[in-house]
A and B are shown apart, each in its own frame.
Chain A
Amino acid sequence: MKNISTAWLHLLNRSRLKPLAPIAGGAIALMLGGILLHVSGANPLQAYGVMFAGAFGGTRQLTETLLKAAPLLLIGLGMTIAFRCRVWNIGAEGQYYIGALCGSAIALTYPALPSLILIPLMLAASIGGGILWSGLAGLLHLYRGVNLIISTLMLNYIGILLVQYAARVPLQQPDGFLPESAQFGDNAQIPTMLGTRLHWGFGLALLLVGAVYLLLWYTPLGFQLRAVGSRLSVAKCVGINTSRSILIALTMSGGLAGLAGILEVSYTYTRLKGDISDSYGFSGILVALLGQLHPVGVLIAAVLFSGLMVGAQSLNVVLQIPASVAQVIQALVVLLVLAGQAIARAKRDDAIPLVAHDG
């Protein structure tokens, strides 16, 4: 037993094999998920087969997976920026909702604008909303010393409830019965790309993978954000404006979460409702972590997470096995990877606790 654990540690210690940690964690999580399936009377192999086919087994399935990956990818990219600067933004869910609200408000207020003007406006408004909502927590942190973890957490539910109110009262469809807005016009629905069912939002998210990569490793700003995340006291000592860096990292992640919100509303729901998220804000945090805070890793993790969700839906249809098994597997992967990394770090004995700056 000890040999196995040391071999496992050895594997984790080799930085070149670092990407293997999530893969190994994923394998164990699938095994545990298999046990859950087995105990509940299903055949795990058959179930995984159905899930895989449902997520990646054809163009239609793959498209669905990539579409669902878009919001996870956007939020995960934002979290990558924030966590690289060691800023604990766990308010992505609220920023996502507020982004959706701001974008929807534009779509509903100017229904007659041409698509080419309206959609950029909606996107800009959603990003602005996300920036505002995250920036609020940032300002409370910088000026009043309010713990970022708690303030972003509080703002999650305030944001969600604001959207529920907006969808029920001020933005509700005239003469409608349900708490939801009128359906967006075609001009407010984000167009698809080149004859596929993939919308341009996904293309934008892919572009942002490159952009975030560039930002973090090829610009002075990204360099400074990483420096602040690496050691705040050193960054301060070499003259980096650490408050500014924290605020930038926080609002960038907030803006991206807001963008994810309007894309989902515009394409998937085509109207503002009180329930527009599949816990994307929280899953996005895990996606960023699983992707090792690297944009390409985040892309892979987002596709895998969304593949699990989409595959689990066909599991539900074909074998009547509840789709929530996907969420269980996701959580297990993350817990196992966290544990593995923690053990490896303890062995290296340079454990730097991942606490927020005010921790």
Chain B
Amino acid sequence: MPWEQVLTGSFLIALLTAGIRLAVPVLLAVLGEIITERSGVMNLGIEGIMLVGGLAGFVTAQTLEQATGIASLAAWVGLLIGLLTGAAMGLLMAVLTVTLKTDQVVTGVTFVLLGQGLTSYIFRRATGLLGARVTGLQSWAVPGLSTLPVAGDILFNHNAIVYLTVALVVLCWLLLFRTHWGLELRAVGENPAAADTSGLRVQTIRYLAVMVGAALAGLGGAVLTVVQLNIFTEGIMAGRGWIAIALVFFSRWHPGGALVGALLFGIADALQYRIQALGFKALPYEFLLMLPYVLTLVVLVWGSRQSNTPAALGIPYSKGKG
């Protein structure tokens, strides 16, 4: 199939719209991981946390929808439960990596296996999850703006979570760079000894950062299952957690960069679905899926060296050893 037949206006609009939608779960996880890593802790367990959050949210939403019949309420409660489940896993992660100072890499990898195993077990064990669906959230067209040509369709005709996530990008940026909390969070990730002598509670801040990060990952998982795909299956995150970790490096720990990276991922993802569906051969879809990883490597290799990396990333802090 030739390019001209693919690259039509309506195709592009549909592609961008879907790309924005697909970017959201990953974007949430990236924002969370940025907060975590800015405090100096690397949480490599995102994939597992997204899976657990996604399952918890889906089960909640599905049960509630069955019981009440109110789909939107069920979806919102499901998302909340996904968020809280993520936070709980973050707490466990923080106990291990911040208090006990276990190795962050190994702990993270183990969390992924734990999440995979746990969700797979529950999914197969719990009868009725296979084939179960939820309604999710309706799109909400922004009054006025959604009628704009092209932009209206692409930007202003989404469900509420999409708008909220964009707001969260701004909020995250404000938090990191315009509040004292953000300053203290970053100080802990850059030089915990300096933060400590300045009177900051390093371990407390790291606990909070890990929990907030994991909560957002759990929410991202729930958004994917409850709002976007409306189902849960094994391994439904399909590496989105790892993509999120890549995009944190791609973004250089900046919410704006996260938005760009997640959109790139979303659009590439949307494109590969369509290419597969159309049987378009000129561009193998695998290369589109590789794009986020390759771009991140490129940024790491050719970007100015190590700038922005939280200086204490991955290093546990013990008082008095500064």
Contact = CB atoms under 8 A, between A and B. Distances in A.
The answer to A–B direct touch (Cβ < 8 A) is yes
B315 A327 contact: no
Given A164-B286, A328-B114, A353-B315, A338 B102 contact: yes
Interface string A342-357: 1101100001011110
B287 interface: yes
A339 B100 contact: yes
B105 interface: yes
B180 interface: no
Nearest to A156: B242
Interface string B218-245: 0000000000000000000001001001
B96 A339 contact: yes
A36 B114 CA distance: 13
Contacts of B316: 351, 353
A134 to B, nearest CB: 14
A162 B294 CA distance: 12
Interface in B110-129: 110-114, 116-118, 120-126
Given A40-B122, A324-B121, 4 more contacts: A153-B242, A165-B287, A353-B101, A354-B105
Interface string B288-322: 01100110110011000110010001111010000
Nearest to B126: A40
Interface stretch (A115-123, A200-208, A277-285): A277-285
B249 interface: yes
B279 interface: no
Given A146-B300, A154-B297, A164-B286, A335 B101 contact: no
Interface of A: 36, 40-41, 88, 90, 140, 144-147, 149-151, 153-158, 161-162, 164-165, 168-169, 279, 282-283, 285-286, 289, 321-322, 324-332, 334-335, 338-339, 341-343, 345-346, 351, 353-356, 359
21 contacts: A90-B109, A140-B297, A149-B42, A150-B246, A153-B245, A154-B293, A155-B293, A157-B239, A158-B294, A161-B290, A279-B113, A279-B116, A322-B124, A327-B120, A328-B121, A334-B106, A342-B102, A343-B100, A354-B105, A355-B315, A356-B105
A162 B110 contact: no
A327 B112 CA distance: 10
Nearest to B309: A147
A147 B296 CA distance: 12
Contacts of A168: 284, 286
Interface residues of B, number: 50
A249 B54 CA distance: 38
B110 A338 contact: yes
Interface in B31-65: 42, 44
B109 A286 contact: yes
A330 B296 contact: no
A88 B105 contact: yes
Given A145-B306, A279-B113, A286-B109, A158 B102 contact: no
A298 to B, nearest CB: 15
A339 B316 CA distance: 14
B107 interface: yes
A338 B290 contact: no
Interface of B: 42, 44, 96, 100-103, 105-107, 109-114, 116-118, 120-126, 239, 242, 245-246, 249, 284, 286-287, 289-290, 293-294, 296-297, 300-301, 305-306, 309, 313-316, 318
Contact of A282 (B101, B113, B306): B113
B301 A140 contact: yes
Contact of B112 (A41, A144, A147, A282): A282
Contacts of B105: 88, 90, 149, 354, 356
A80 B203 CA distance: 31
A48 B123 CA distance: 20
A158 B107 contact: no
Nearest to B123: A322
Contact of A36 (B103, B121, B245, B249): B121
B242 A324 contact: no
Contact of B315 (A146, A321, A359): A359
Nearest to B281: A169
A164 B124 CA distance: 27
B290 A157 contact: yes
A149 B314 CA distance: 11
Nearest to B103: A354
Contacts of B314: 149, 355-356, 359
Contacts of A359: 313-315
Given A149-B105, A346-B100, A355-B315, A283 B113 contact: yes
A230 B10 CA distance: 60
Given A153-B245, A161-B290, A324 B124 contact: yes
A71 B124 CA distance: 26
Contact of A286 (B96, B113, B284, B290): B113
Contacts of A341: 102
Contact of B300 (A147, A162, A355): A147
A330 B101 contact: no
Nearest to A137: B297
Given A322-B125, A324-B116, A338 B315 contact: no
Contacts of B296: 150, 154
